[in-house]
Amino acid sequence: MRWCKYVKVILVLLSATIFTVTIHKVPYGHFKDLLNNSVVERLFHEEPCACMEHCLAASDDEWFAEHFRKDVPPALSLNNSVLPNHIFKWWQSLQSTRSKANYSQVIKELFSVIPGEEWYRDASPSRCRTCAVVGNSGNLLGSYYGPVIDNHDFVFRMNKAPVQGYEKDVGSRTTHHIMYPESAIHLDNNTHLVLLPFKTLDIQWVTSALTDGSIKRTRFKVIDKLQANKDKVMVMHPAFMHYVHKTWLHIKSRRSYPSTGFLVLIFAMHICDEVNVFGFGANSKGTWHHYFEKTPKSFKRTGKHSGGIEHETILELHERRLIDLYMGW
């Protein structure tokens, strides 16, 4: 992927040469037509990213523009942690019981342990960040997608997804692992932990799990002392979760909320220039199961998630060439 930067430089230099050689020889009307050529146009209008095939920021798709909001922060930081009242109420409604904890104090304690900076506000014309969002579908088995997945800059995995023993199909690299307390696993020192906070207690848990291990139970017993690099931990913003819920899925019911996989996909679209999706949906036989299950059991129910809407939206993104969806087997 890195060679595209050098190609772009060559094109710009070549275009500049054409410009200086021809400006005195081409009548204005013809020169204006020449400017419509996409190669020459790049000399005057900087590309939003350096990717040659896909660049989400460059999309002029009206449907995408209606859904995608750059102003919504993907991750919590010290500077953006205050929640509007309607978002706070929605977030609290996801919890079976209302938390009595003081949210401001919970955030203060969180950022005494993990970085309080804003992550991934580094988009530029010179960047081409490619990302693989790897779901847990059984359609990965026999796909041999491993090398393709590993070739991305960022590789997102979620919940308890194992890698060992499945490398040829799911890859071996993980840069970001998304989880909530009940689905947590230990991570190596090089992997980012991205917490999905479905409740205030989830934020309290990650603070505890990275320090004294005082919280041992949320909905049920959880890992109390988590192995993870504190400097690589971030928390998905409740406002971002609300935005996915309302803007992308148009969910009206408070009893339904986006799945982990769909949240991660939209998260990736906000911090990446090119997004490729693996391990979502059913296998070729129409069976929905996890690739790591020893005795796979088909599951159709999506619990509190709007599975049908999510699947249709992912297909829409693929058909509009905003993402590439690898269907597996």
Average pLDDT score over the chain: 83
Active site residue 6: no
Tell me the two tokens of residue 159.
Answer: 């919940």
Active site residue 120: no
Q: Which of 288-292's residues contact partners 24+ apart within 8 Å by CB, and which partners?
A: 288/137, 288/138, 289/137, 289/138, 290/136, 290/137, 290/138, 291/136, 291/137, 291/138, 291/139, 291/140, 291/141, 291/166, 291/169, 291/170, 292/136, 292/160, 292/161, 292/162, 292/166
pLDDT-derived band at 58, boundaries 50, 70, 90: confident
Is residue 72's pLDDT more than 50?
A: yes
Phi, psi dihedral angles at 198 (to 5 degrees): -80, -10
How does pLDDT run across 109-125, given as a tens digit for each residue?
999 999 999 999 888 88
Q: Which of 145, 180, 243, 257 is catalytic?
A: 257
pLDDT of residue 35: 32
pLDDT-derived band at 205, boundaries 50, 70, 90: very high
Please name each of the domains of the chain with its CATH number.
3-45 (no CATH), 63-326 (3.90.1480.20)
Poorest-confidence range of 21-25, 135-139, 240-244?
21-25
User: For 178-211, b where at least 16 C-beta lie within 10 A, e where not — what string?
Assistant: bbbbbebbebeeebbbbbbbbbbbbbbbbbbbbe
Poorest-confidence range of 7-16, 154-163, 317-326?
7-16
Percent of the chain residues past pLDDT 70, beyond the cut: 80
Q: Which of 176, 270, 305, 326 is catalytic?
A: 305
Poorest-confidence range of 2-6, 135-139, 225-229?
2-6
This prediction's pTM: 0.82
pLDDT-derived band at 46, boundaries 50, 70, 90: low
Q: What is the dihedral of CA 233, 303, 265, 323, to 10 degrees?
A: 170
How does pLDDT run across 213-254, given as a tens digit for each residue?
999 999 889 999 999 999 999 999 999 999 999 999 987 665
